[in-house]
């Protein structure tokens, strides 16, 4: 079995998974209004990491002299370091692999020089793995907004194949003029804290974060451990940026992980819930088609914003902690049902005795991911 052995989140809400989980439970949001940042002509809402605090914590890791690490790499290394420490694994072991997920990496260096080596995602991944003395070639996943979930699925497969016993999975993205401009060009950004699944939802908030899960092969799980049981990715084959009207790919991914399983065993679905009109509508259709409409649904985008390549890892961590504690978290920003197919979107902390949760994500390129986690 494949167990979450350690986890960590670096975000606007804190520098450990504990900090972040407790902040979410207390109803906090990292989303704020920024004006004039990165030279963006219009104000925008985003959840940003406190750079000074990050730099101080990074310096405390005693990084090697003469090495320059980018803000993205510092964020990723800090989260990996904390998760590895908690897991108590040997990160340098030849049977440990690093898996890195990011959509845009160090894209801000494009402003200076298009032949800058720091622009390559594989280079950032190598620097992160080398920081911990790991000599295996790291795996790099760049699959739009499902990247973090795909990195976890890839880690599961690397371990199941027998090639590795342990995988350090880090998802990270930092915001920049490039990313904010892109989402603004789609008119996808909300001017307020976003409202997943709500009738008045009008767009998403961007966020930056790094999140790490250390997955480890174990012969036996200890009671309360969270296992990554299954996962699937399917395409809509419909449109490169518009969500499918029938939720085809997400429906197929959900059907694949629910094969031979009962929806009555699922404590909750942690949705992508970006709070754009089309995404949340599509998710509601796919969940209905998959027979999961009676299962409680929650979303975390009003707490962290959409953290892009980190989202799959970050939201899995918060959800795993909730399941471990036997609770279902509320959906900040949600008040009134606003999808054609009604869902059981949570408004308050609810207790649960059930032992599974599902994490779903969808992204540009028509890709959709579903992961199934289980409490031992």
Q: Measured between alpha carbons, how far is 205 from 370 in angstroms, rounded to an integer?
A: 22
Q: Which two tokens stand for residue 10?
A: 């670096």
> Shortest gap between Cβ of 270 and other proteins (angstroms)?
21
Task: Compute the least distance from the CB of residue 362 to other proteins, in Å.
Answer: 12
Tell me which residues touch other proteins (CB under 8 A): 40-41, 103-105, 107, 110-111, 114, 119-123, 126, 137, 139-144, 150, 154, 157-158, 160-163, 177-178, 181-187, 232-241, 248-249, 252, 256, 363-367
Residue with smaller CB distance to other proteins, 49 or 232: 232
Please say which residue, 9 or 46, places its beta carbon nearer to other proteins: 46
Smallest separation, CB 41 to other proteins (Å): 6
Read off the tokens for 336: 């009134």
- C-beta closer to other proteins: residue 36 or 41: 41
Choose among 224, 220, 330, 204: nearest CA to 278. 204
For the CB of residue 261, give the shortest distance to other proteins in the complex, in Å. Answer: 15
**171 within 8 A of 148, measured Cβ to Cβ:** yes
Q: Which is nearer to other proteins, 139 or 210 (CB)?
A: 139
Apex 81 CA angle, 77 and 317, nearest 5: 95
Shortest distance in whole angstroms from residue 98 CB to other proteins: 13
Q: Is 234 helix (H, G, I), strand (E, B) or coil?
A: strand
Beta carbon of residue 365, minimum distance to other proteins (angstroms, whole number): 3
Distance CA 329, CA 20 (A): 13
- Whichever of 289 and 375 has its CB closer to other proteins, that residue is 289
Q: Of 2, 22, 17, 137, give the one whose Cα is nearest residue 84.
A: 17
Are the CB atoms for 232 and 253 separated by under 8 Å? Answer: yes
* Residue with Cβ nearer other proteins (40 or 344): 40
Q: What b/e readout covers 95-114, taking b as 16+ CB neighbours within 10 angstroms?
A: ebbbbbbbbbbbbbbeeeee
């Amino acid at each position: 079995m494949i167990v979450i052995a350690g986890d960590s989140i670096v975000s606007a809400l804190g520098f450990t998974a504990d900090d972040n989980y407790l902040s979410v439970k207390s109803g906090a949001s990292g989303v704020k209004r920024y004006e004039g940042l990165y030279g963006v002509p219009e104000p925008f809402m985003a959840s940003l990491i406190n750079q000074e605090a990050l730099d101080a914590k990074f310096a405390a890791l005693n990084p090697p002299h003469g090495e320059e690490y980018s803000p993205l790499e510092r964020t990723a290394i800090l989260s990996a370091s904390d998760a590895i420490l908690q897991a108590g694994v040997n990160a340098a072991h030849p049977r440990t692999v690093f898996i890195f997920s990011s959509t845009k990496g160090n894209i801000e260096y494009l402003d200076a020089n298009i032949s800058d080596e720091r622009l390559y995602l594989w280079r950032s991944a190598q620097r992160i793995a080398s920081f911990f003395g790991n000599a295996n070639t790291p795996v790099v996943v760049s699959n739009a907004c499902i990247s973090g979930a795909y990195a976890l699925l890839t880690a599961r497969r690397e371990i199941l194949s027998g090639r590795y016993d342990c995988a350090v999975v880090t998802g990270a993205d930092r915001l920049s003029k490039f990313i904010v401009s892109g989402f603004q060009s789609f008119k996808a950004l909300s001017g307020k804290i976003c409202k997943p699944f709500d009738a008045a939802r009008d767009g998403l908030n961007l966020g930056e974060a790094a999140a790490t899960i250390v997955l480890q092969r174990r012969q036996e799980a200890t009671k309360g451990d969270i296992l990554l049981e299954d996962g699937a990715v399917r395409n809509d084959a419909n449109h490169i940026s518009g969500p499918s009207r029938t939720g085809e790919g997400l429906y197929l991914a959900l059907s694949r992980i629910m094969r031979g399983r009962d929806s009555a065993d699922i404590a909750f679905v942690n949705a992508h819930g970006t709070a754009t009109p089309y995404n949340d509508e599509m998710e509601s259709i796919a969940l209905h088609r998959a027979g999961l409409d009676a299962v409680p649904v929650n979303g975390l985008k009003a707490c962290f914003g959409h953290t892009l390549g980190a989202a799959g890892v970050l939201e899995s961590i918060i959800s795993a902690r909730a399941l471990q504690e036997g609770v279902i978290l509320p959906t900040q920003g949600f008040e009134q049902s606003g999808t054609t197919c009604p869902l059981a979107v949570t408004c308050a902390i609810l207790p649960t005795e059930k032992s599974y949760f599902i994490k779903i994500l969808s992204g540009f390129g028509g890709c959709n991911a579903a992961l199934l986690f289980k409490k031992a």
